[in-house]
Chain A
Amino acid sequence: GESVGLHLPTLSVQEGDNSIINCAYSNSASDYFIWYKQESGKGPQFIIDIRSNMDKRQGQRVTVLLNKTVKHLSLQIAATQPGDSAVYFCAENKRGDSSYKLIFGSGTRLLVRP
């Protein structure tokens, strides 16, 4: 079936290193993708998004890469900081039925070691 998934449930990185969080999607019709960050006790917070007509998009310390050939999405965090510790979700926009429903993956927990 159509789904959004993550390769690794937990990622541990040293403070200052770069982090890469991966996500696979299976719906080739999806044309919009979002990364969310969820800190403990809080709601998901928008980080960055990308449309399918782009391969790469950069924000502040974050970069999202989209590889449509293999249906793969990644979130890169530069110089990871303790405040980056959270669960990260990718989500895809599934077109159809004239709706814009987001389908979320199960999340990857990022742990930043001091």
Chain B
Amino acid sequence: DADVTQTPRNRITKTGKRIMLECSQTKGHDRMYWYRQDPGLGLRLIYYSFDVKDINKGEISDGYSVSRQAQAKFSLSLESAIPNQTALYFCATSERGETQYFGPGTRLLVL
């Protein structure tokens, strides 16, 4: 969905490096989410935010942190990347829960 953008689209980094993935949306939604997708697995929720002052851990938050800089921006950080964080990362937005609209994803490779 072009209303949800993610940068970068692809990233290669080394173990121990700090990286940040950015998400921006023009849908005007209050709620934003970060998911991780691994081969053979569904999307797993890392963090979610229901408004600028609200941050919540998802099912796999260890090793990740987030920042909700504004209603339209939600960034995901890996403070010290490790190889098993190699995955496809998706940002999503929604109005009052329920249907979520996804960005195009960021493919991350940690060497």
A106 within 8 A of B: yes
Q: Is the interface of A mostly helix, strand, loop or mixed?
A: strand
The residue from A41, A42, A93, A104 contacting B43, defined by CB atoms under 8 A apart: A104
The residue from B42, B48, B92 contacting A107, defined by CB atoms under 8 A apart: B42
A20 within 8 A of B: no
A14-39 vs B, CB cutoff 8 Å, 1 = contact: the mask equals: 00000000000000000010101000
Q: How many residues of B contact A (CB 8 A)?
A: 25
Binds A, one of B14-22, B70-78, B96-104: B96-104
How many A residues touch the partner, as a band? 20 to 34
The residue from B42, B48, B99, B105 contacting A101, defined by CB atoms under 8 A apart: B48
B12 within 8 A of A: no
For this complex, 19 residue pairs linking A to B, each with C-beta atoms less than 8 Å apart, are: A34-B100, A41-B105, A43-B90, A44-B102, A45-B1, A46-B100, A46-B101, A49-B98, A91-B42, A93-B97, A99-B48, A100-B97, A100-B98, A101-B58, A102-B100, A104-B42, A104-B44, A106-B41, A106-B42
List the interface of chain A (C-beta within 8 A of B).
4, 32, 34, 36, 41-46, 49, 89, 91, 93, 99-102, 104-107
